[in-house]
Structure 1
Amino acid sequence: MTPAPPELTVRPLTGADELGLFCRLSYVLDHELADDLATGRRRPEWMWVALLGDRVVARIAWWTGRGGTAPQLLDFFDLDDALPEPERGAVGLRLLETASAAVLPAGPDRPEYGRYIPPDWREDPVAREVVEARMRVMEASGARLLVERLRLEWRAGTPVPQDSGRLVFRPVAGREDLLALMAPVMEGTLDAHGRADLASGLTAREAAEKHYDEEFAHLTTPQEWWRIAELPDGVPVGFVIPARNNYHPMIAYIGVLPAHRGHGYVDDVLAEGTRVLAAQGVERIRAATDLGNVPMAKSFERLGYVNFERSFDMVWDRDNPVDGRIPGS
């Protein structure tokens, strides 16, 4: 008699000692998991696996930047790509829905899903199928693609950009000093997250406050690194936020006021942020910009940043219907 195939088991990790089980599938952030668990950025109950017998066929995990808070981001979602479709998609959807119901607080809002992907993923058939298989599952759960982004890196040994002398830089004086510039920068922004905030009904000021409070207020590196760029007569042109997150030195945000766009000032502002971090002796500086933000991407390229990776973000809209069906299945 042929033995019955094993049933699918979907469950969270029982503790950090099951990290080896979770890592039977792989992703570029695996090396961060142990430290994330130790610091509270992840919890075993936020890390789930789908098992066929003792074979891990899918896994999922959420992350938070601050221990003791609810999940902020879904950043691990991996499938065993040896599974054929539609079984692979069905397994992934069951894991996603079961784990989400158990992990996420009640309510309509869900943390967005973000994934790092190869820079040439569209040209590589294998990489493309890996990316699109995960997207299909997310879409079946009601998510939509918000943005694809370039991930960029300035590396030690690259020439540190010189000050052109066109602008004068001063430290940010405080929250209001920065918000007064962040709000007008929202006008005509090419940033998908900023555009989504405005489309949701937030004013430019409210969107700026949200970004500041969710991102900048929790940075632990010195606020003295933050710079406002001005013309020699004191008229503000833009700003840059050099910082370090839990993992890397980074350009957290950069903006040029609408009245001063089109004059190449973005290069001067980015150069100042790069100089601030380079002076700390860092090995690399990370940054990201939306694929559609061509002027910003070209500025990074001119200043010696290389595109080493891409990423995509998917979001669940409150009014986006869910049909629970994997497209093509």
Structure 2
Amino acid sequence: MEQNDLTMRPITGREELCLFTRLPYVLNEELADDLPAGRRRPEWMWVALRGDHLLARLAWWGHAGDDSPFLLDIFDIDDSSADRVDIGVRLLQTAMAEVVPAGRPPEYIRCVPPDWRESEVTKRVVEDRIAVLERTGAHLFVERLRFEWHPGTPIPEPSGRLVFRPVRDTEEILALMTLVLDGTLDAHSRDDLTRMSAREAAVRHYEDELAHYRSPRDWWRIATLPDGQPVGFVTPARNDYNPIIGYVAVLPEHRGNGYIDEILTKGTRILNTQDVPRIRAATDLGNTPMANAFQRIGYVNFERTINMTWH
């Protein structure tokens, strides 16, 4: 598809990955595995070319087997081009019309350095991409902190205040996920609750994320008081790329007692026994209690994400 001097099109397949990865980004190294696994499709990966010069590119990601993408997680423009924002807008509008022609487009997520505002170069790169997305109708939804824990980091010993047991079944975890939405600080959950019931939001979260974990569900743990009363839960897991703390929460009536540290420690300990190279986790920038808990257990904030959505 040509517009003036630009050619905008999806890549033809794996053979064009060298073209697609001319623009650097942290997710480039995952693309060769994502394509055969079905998490990427050539028709979801678009480029804007002037001659053979790659000026912009984008790619959506989806769960293997899904007919439509779940996230827009790659969007890059050649920062040396004077008309880079305009080119980005043209590519995004053209590709979205083909890939997501109806309904609300998938959320956009961009990984950025934790100190991205402190460097003029990095700040401009991030703000250029935000400007492109805003011109297509998107708005900033939330900024998130990404954490990483490395083996060898000391793990606190159990205090004995809590007892941990496996999750009995899907209904039990869904019931607890529903309860912890009361007073949640998570932006995605709060947004869901404006459009659906807490139970519906819990089911959606489970189906979109927890149901796709590659690891055994018997890694998950319910935290209880010695009398068996549930306090919270944690879902240590493996996603398509990393060992993760997928979900960790304390029930509303038990918040403020320091239980989150013990529950997070339990999940970390379970993954550490699996000889993992690292453990990843994330929380919203505004969720200070959760961010502080990760840091107390030895997790390091190595990255942030900028999340944008369309109305």
Q: TM-score, normalised by structure 1?
A: 0.92
Q: Using the TM superposition, give the Cα deviation of residue 276 of structure 1 relative to its aligned residue in structure 2, in angstroms.
A: 0.7
Give the alignment partner of residue 94 of structure 2, picking from 90, 95, 98: 98
Aligned twin of 1:3: none
Query: Which residue, out of 27, 37, 55, partners 2:35?
Result: 37
Residue 192 of structure 2 is aligned with which of 191, 197, 220? 197
TM-fit CA distance, 1:162: 1.8
Task: Point out where structure 1 has 5 or more consecutive residues left out of the alignment.
Answer: 1-5, 318-329
In 2, Cα distance between equivalents of 1:29 and 1:157 = 26
Letter in 2 for 1:18: E
Question: Which secondary structure state, in structure 2, belongs to the residue aligned with residue 122 of structure 1?
Answer: helix
* 8 Å CA contact retained: 1:49, 1:95: yes
TM-score by length of 2: 0.97
Q: What amino acid does structure 2 have at the position aligned with 1:202?
A: M
Give distance in 2, aligned partners of 1:82 and 1:244.
38
How far, CA to CA, are the matches of 1:299 and 1:251 in structure 2?
13
Residue in 2 that maps onto 1:260: 254
Q: Which residue of 2 aligns with 1:320?
A: none
The count of aligned residue pairs is 308
Counterpart among 131, 147, 150 of residue 145 in structure 2: 150
Equivalent AA in structure 2 for residue 226 of structure 1: W
CA contact (8 A) 2:164 2:221 kept: yes
1:207 and 1:88 map into 2 onto residues whose CA distance is: 38
Q: State yes or no: 1:244 paired with 2:238.
A: yes
What code does the residue aligned with 1:88 have? Answer: R
Provide Cα deviations, 1:289-311, integer angstroms capped at 9, x if missing partner. Answer: 10000000110000000011111
1:61 aligned residue (50, 56, 59): 59
Give 1:321's aligned residue: none
| Secondary structure at 2:116 match in 1 | coil
2:180 is matched with: 185
Structure 1 equivalent of residue 71 of structure 2: 73
Match of 2:49 among 41, 48, 51: 51
Q: Distance in 2 between matches of 1:211 and 1:68?
A: 16
Matches within 5 A, 1:1-329: 7-84=5-82, 87-104=83-100, 106-199=101-194, 201-317=195-311
Hey, what's the Cα distance between the residues in 2 that align with 1:316 and 1:173?
A: 38
- How many angstroms apart in 2 are the aligned matches of 1:216 and 1:223? 9
CA–CA distance in 1 between the matches of 2:65 and 2:202?
Answer: 24
Unmatched segments (≥5 aa) in structure 2: none
Q: Distance in 2 between matches of 1:32 and 1:161?
A: 33
Tell me by how many angstroms 1:147 deviates.
0.7
Root-mean-square deviation over aligned CA pairs: 1.0
The CA distance in 2 between the partners of 1:245 and 1:236, in whole Å, is: 26
Percent identical = 60
Cα separation, 1, equivalents of 2:306 and 2:104: 19
**CA shift for structure 1 position 68:** 4.2
Q: Within 2, Cα distance between the matches of 1:33 and 1:77?
A: 14
Moved over 3 A (4+): none
